[in-house]
Structure 1
Amino acid sequence: MMMMIVCVAAVGHQNNPLYLQSFTNADDALKLHHIVHCSLDVIDDRVNNPKKTGLTLNEAFLGLLYPSENYKAYGYLTNTKVKFIFVTTDLDVKDADVRNFFKRFHSAYIDAVSNPFHVPGKKITSKTFAERVSAIVNSFGSNAPV
């Protein structure tokens, strides 16, 4: 299960960024943020046109959203319409690994927003959440700082 994750994001139901973390050098961060932004358009298209895309409304895993020459972006939609996206440099990724990542990321997200000091709809600033996300990313073979 070696998957090089270079960026993860949680985006609110109004496309407001809740959490965005790059695990590469600063030069690539802008490019990765652009890929995340482009992936949001794909998610909106899939959610708003489920018949065209074959997406069922109870399916949280959105699969591959945005393939490029060097990166692939995958998506997941929670029942509260929060979007999770990650970008990887591994161009041969197994769906089971992607689903496992999103399951673990979703669990960390739930714990973070369940904190009574977290303001719903605002950016997640919890250091514990950031450390947990880094640990999850590291477990998939990334170079994320812990």
Structure 2
Amino acid sequence: MIVCVAVVGHQNNPLYIQSFTEADDALKLHHIVHCSLDVVDERVNNPKKSGPTLNETFLGLLYPTENYKVYGYLTNTKVKFILVTTDLDVRDADFFRRFHAAYVDAVSNPFHVPDKKITSRTFAERVSNIVKSFGLSSAG
């Protein structure tokens, strides 16, 4: 089940964080997303390790915790997408491609201010629909 998705700007500023759990875990999930940024930076700055190459945007599993698995995706503009799941193994970037398309549509809005939080209800609805289309969450 997907429990959280996040968009983090190129200066590690949170642009959008959405939790999909019934419990009040927002602060805990925000902390997990923040901690994952160090792993993203390490993978991008040290490509010689067995991680993905510089041309790949899907970073794969960033790290597992006791309860969650954290996956990452890096756009060409250094915007990071973070996905926190409980038991889902993400093996390809299909979710992230769809999420990226929704993000591009949201920031292409002429009323959106670059590097500011994404407040579009349309974007939030698209993200919820993407999560639901993977059959991973009934909340939203």
Q: Which runs of 5+ in 2 are unaligned?
A: none
Greater RCO, CA 8 A, separation 6+: 1
**Are residue 133 (structure 1) and residue 127 (structure 2) matched?**
yes
Aligned residues: 139
Please point out which of 47, 51, 59 is paired with 1:50. 47
C-alpha RMSD of the superposition: 1.2
- Mapped partners of 1:86, 1:51: distance in 2: 24
Q: In the TM superposition, what whole-angstrom CA distance separates every residue of 1:24-77 from its partner, at most 9, and x where no partner exists?
A: 135222111111111111001111111134431111000001201110010000
TM-score by length of structure 1 reads: 0.90
Separation (CA, whole Å) in 2 of partners of 1:94 and 1:15: 23
Q: Which has the higher helix share?
A: 1
2:108 to 114, 117, 123: 114
Q: Is the 8 A contact 1:38 1:66 kept in 2?
A: no
Change (3 A) 1:86 1:54: closer
Mark the runs of 5 or more structure 1 residues left unpaired by the alignment.
none
* 1:48 aligned partner, one-letter code: N
Provide TM-score, normalisation by structure 2.
0.94
CA distance in 2, matches of 1:7, 1:54: 23
Verify the 8 A CA contact 1:46 1:53 in the aligned structure 2.
no
More deviation, 6-15/25-34: 25-34
Maintained 8 Å contact 1:10/1:17 = yes
Kept in 1, the 8 Å contact 2:7–2:82? The answer is yes
Partner of residue 10 from structure 1, selected from 7, 10, 21: 7
Q: Deviations over 1:71-125 (max 9, x none)?
A: 00100000000000010011x51403xx111010000000000000001111100
Counterpart CA distance in 2 for 1:118 and 1:85 is 21
Distance 1:107 1:15 in 2: 20
Deviant stretches of 4+, over 6 Å? none
